[in-house]
Amino acid sequence: MVYELGLDVDALTAIDTHVHIEVGDDGHNALPQPLVDAASKYFKTDAPRPGLDEIADMYRERSMAAVVFTVDASRNLNHRPNSSEEIARGATRNNDVLIPFGSVDPTRGTGAITQAERLANDFGVRGFKFHPTVQNFNPSDEQFYPLWAALQDLGLPALFHTGQTGIGSGLPGGFGLKLGLSNPMLLDNVAADFPELAIIMAHPSVPWQDEALAVATHKQNVYIDLSGWSPKYFPENLVRQANSVLQDKVLFGSDFPLISPDRWLKDFADLNFKDSVRPKILKDNAVRLLGLLA
């Protein structure tokens, strides 16, 4: 069954554009246990990772929608990924609150393209999630350009992790994960060479926040989601730009289950945002970018 939107957009209070399905229907975790433990320590949470239907219930209770996904880093981590097909099926049975994104491993070459096209055409995913550091690839390397071209042809957005990550944080060698692969400047080439591909830079891009703001300001097809950090820790320049020149290009995202939407929204309410900008960040920009009224 192909996913179809079932959202009552007018009734939604917000759209969370960044929610991980960390545990599959079979109980399998998307990451090796040392990385799960390191992320829990980094984010100061030891709460259990909920399954997809539990997440749907939580967002339904809040009259919110959520973009849900996993990350396929099977080659770099030597760990079986969770199933994007399963996530799409779960979103289909919860299509009043969930919007599925797919994930493919770019290092698989033509196999990644075939899988992306299958997820889009046969399962109805509405975008794709990538984590260059965890998947161990440089998005600006032209060997990956055929994949970006395929996503551009499909008309689906690509969501890239940027900046520091809690995955592997504090472990020897950071579990071998390389932060530089998530420098947002690497996405500038992609945005320039694929102008019809909508690119979402996930998270405040510390320590490269100025670079992220520059790319989002310069490239019409680049957006920023605000997930992964409590808003009270947002860099001042990010808040200033989101409240002004980038007000139509910034999206609410929590990074649940590591940060809850309740905590994010509580801290966001304390920031000095214009009344005209808040609804754009919380819902309106995502509605437009994701084509939720189409």
| Confidence bin at 251 (pLDDT 50/70/90) | very high
Q: How far apart are CA 226 and CA 36, in angstroms?
A: 22
**Cβ contact 222:215 at 8 Å:** yes
Over residues 67-75, mean pLDDT? 96
* Residue-wise pLDDT tens digits, 186-224: 999 999 999 999 999 999 999 999 999 999 999 999 999
Provide the whole-model pTM: 0.96
The average confidence (pLDDT) of the chain is 94
Spatial CA neighbour of 151 closest among 182, 130, 180, 181 = 130
* Residue-wise pLDDT tens digits, 140-177: 999 999 999 999 999 999 999 999 998 888 899 999 99
CA distance to 135, 162, 184, 238, 244, per residue, from 204 (Å): 20, 8, 10, 7, 16
